[in-house]
């Protein structure tokens, strides 16, 4: 699909139905059995993943007290996505995604168990956490495009945008339960058991993949062997104005404005006087995320205008939270923080599938993951260093400013 504006060198208006609610409701793709099984399994598994993510932040901050070390940890976890993500998308377009997922989910369960045992036996160190995060990142880089690409085999093409938005709902909404459970359990049980629980939770995702009904799967269009699959996807994005604009927003915003989990532990401890509030801040952010992704799921066709509106919401929330003096106000502001962030993610995923040729879905999904998660190795450490050595407040606020700069640049580009 070639963008008309790019082909003729003129700006074309977005479709008039870009903000219309879709017939069938926001949960319409769940009419498919495979979609119901997959998303319910994904929800259970990702509650465990948020247990581990929240627990790891608690663990690293208690080991060192430095936000920069949290930034380095997320850098180790997401650097493989930057280096391997697009190639992994090509791999997912070529081979069976269910087989890939069974292997990657099993390896991620092993990583969680090892981290949990090291913590429970008092043998955990910061280098060990970083090494295991790097291992998780390598496996996750392979899992991400296969996991998201498998969604395209669960529902008809007309429901892909809705399914992708519901995927974001599950991925972000699981934070509501996972982060809250971590906040409740971390004091009586310690972080080690959070990692063990996460290792067990991967069984749900493996069951959800194995139990899919093959007779109801939408046949995947496989990429032929050979050729230049990675270069092809870059050329396609460059030729499509909607996609290239979306990727600009993804890269800028995810690099600078999506690193609040790096500095929230230090904010909770030093600014708001309650270190244990970190998990609850993530929980409230997750509630906002569910609302934002469901609001996007209602749309028949997701527009760049909707994406950029939510970039602005995310930016305003970052700045407001940064200068909030009271913990209760920070909780309130975490709702628009989650809403704007999740709606932006869901919009980007939906736009990538609206514009994608059938044999390029895995590669485009991988490229969105590279743009969103692959920028974390840059933004995470930068945010942590600003919090430790420049200003705690500006470690969040600079991301908000970057959001508004991004909105201004893209508005000028589409003027």
What's the pLDDT band for 65 if we cut at 50, 70, 90? confident
pLDDT of residue 300 exceeding 60 = yes
User: What does each C-alpha distance from 168 to 132, 285, 297, 323, 396 come to in angstroms?
Assistant: 26, 14, 9, 29, 23
* Least confidently predicted of 3-7, 180-184, 212-216: 3-7
Q: Which residues partner with 299 through β-bridges?
A: 21
Nearest residue to 200 (alpha-carbon basis) of 345, 45, 93: 45
Contact 342, 335 (CB under 8 A): no
Q: 153 phi and psi, to 5 degrees?
A: -100, 0
The 3-state DSSP class for residue 17 equals coil
* 183 against 227, higher pLDDT: 183
The pLDDT of residue 374 is 61
pLDDT of residue 385 exceeding 50 = yes
**What are the pLDDT digits (tens) for 81-105?**
878 777 777 777 777 888 999 999 9
**What are the pLDDT digits (tens) for 362-382?**
677 777 777 777 677 788 889
The pLDDT of residue 5 is 38
Residue range 245-263: average pLDDT?
Answer: 87
All structural domains of the chain, each given as residue ranges with its CATH number in brackets, are 27-214+229-413 (1.20.1250.20)
Nearest residue to 103 (alpha-carbon basis) of 131, 142, 132, 45: 142
Please spell the DSSP secondary structure of 82-127, one letter per residue. Answer: HHHHHHHHHHHHHS-HHHHHHHHHHHHHHHHHHHHHHHHTT---HH
pLDDT of residue 316 exceeding 60 = yes
Record the tokens describing residue 378, joined without a space: 């840059």
* 251 against 135, higher pLDDT: 135
Nearest residue to 42 (alpha-carbon basis) of 217, 205, 163, 213: 205
Which residues fall within 8 angstroms of residue 329, CB to CB, at 6 or more apart? none
User: What does each C-alpha distance from 172 to 46, 52, 209, 287 come to in angstroms?
Assistant: 9, 14, 20, 8
Contact 234, 243 (CB under 8 A): no
pLDDT of residue 215 exceeding 80 = yes
Q: Which residues partner with 339 through β-bridges?
A: none
What is the SS3 assignment for 253-278?
HHHHCCCHHHHHHHHHHHHCCCCCHH
**If you average pLDDT over every residue of the chain, what do you get?**
83
What's the pLDDT band for 353 if we cut at 50, 70, 90? confident
**What are the pLDDT digits (tens) for 30-58?**
888 888 999 999 999 999 998 999 899 98
pLDDT of residue 269 exceeding 80 = yes
Contact 83, 378 (CB under 8 A): no
Please spell the DSSP secondary structure of 314-378, one letter per residue. Answer: HHHHHHHHHT--SHHHHHHHHHHHHHHHHHHHHHHHHHHHHT--GGGHHHHHHHHHHHHHTTHHH
């Amino acid at each position: 699909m070639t963008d008309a504006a790019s082909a003729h060198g003129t700006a074309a208006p977005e479709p008039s139905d870009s903000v219309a609610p879709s017939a069938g409701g926001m949960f319409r793709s769940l009419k498919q059995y495979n979609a119901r099984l997959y998303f319910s399994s994904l929800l259970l598994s990702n509650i465990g993943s948020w247990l581990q993510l929240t627990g790891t932040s608690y663990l690293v901050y208690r080991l060192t007290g430095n936000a920069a070390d949290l930034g380095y940890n997320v850098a180790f976890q997401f650097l493989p996505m930057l280096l391997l993500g697009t190639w992994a998308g090509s791999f997912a377009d070529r081979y069976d995604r269910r087989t890939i997922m069974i292997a990657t989910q099993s390896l991620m369960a092993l990583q969680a168990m090892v981290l949990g045992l090291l913590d429970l036996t008092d043998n955990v160190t910061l280098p060990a956490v970083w090494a295991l995060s790097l291992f998780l990142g390598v496996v996750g880089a392979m899992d991400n495009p296969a996991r998201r690409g498998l969604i395209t085999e669960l529902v008809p093409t007309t429901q892909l945008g809705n399914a992708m938005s519901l995927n974001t709902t599950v991925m972000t909404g699981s934070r509501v339960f996972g982060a809250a459970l971590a906040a409740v359990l971390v004091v009586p049980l310690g972080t080690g058991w959070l990692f063990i629980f996460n290792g067990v939770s991967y069984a749900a995702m493996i069951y959800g993949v194995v139990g899919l009904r093959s007779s109801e799967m939408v046949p995947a269009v496989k990429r032929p062997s050979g050729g230049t699959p990675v270069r092809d996807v870059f050329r396609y994005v460059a030729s499509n104005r909607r996609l290239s604009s979306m990727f600009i927003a993804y890269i800028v915003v995810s690099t600078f404005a999506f690193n609040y989990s790096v500095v929230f532990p230090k904010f909770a401890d030093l600014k708001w006087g309650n270190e244990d509030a970190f998990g609850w801040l993530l929980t409230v952010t997750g509630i906002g995320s569910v609302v934002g992704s469901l609001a996007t799921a209602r749309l028949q066709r997701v527009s760049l205008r909707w994406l950029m509106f939510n970039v602005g919401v995310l930016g305003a929330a970052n700045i407001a939270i940064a200068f909030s003096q009271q913990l209760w106000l920070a909780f309130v502001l975490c709702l628009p923080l989650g809403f704007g962030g999740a709606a932006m993610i869901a919009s980007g995923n939906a736009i990538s599938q609206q514009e994608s040729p059938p044999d390029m879905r895995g590669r485009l999904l991988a490229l969105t993951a590279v743009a969103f998660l692959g920028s974390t190795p840059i933004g995470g450490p930068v945010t942590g260093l600003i919090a430790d050595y420049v200003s705690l407040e500006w470690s969040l606020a600079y991301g908000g400013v970057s959001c508004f700069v991004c909105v201004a640049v893209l508005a000028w580009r589409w003027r």
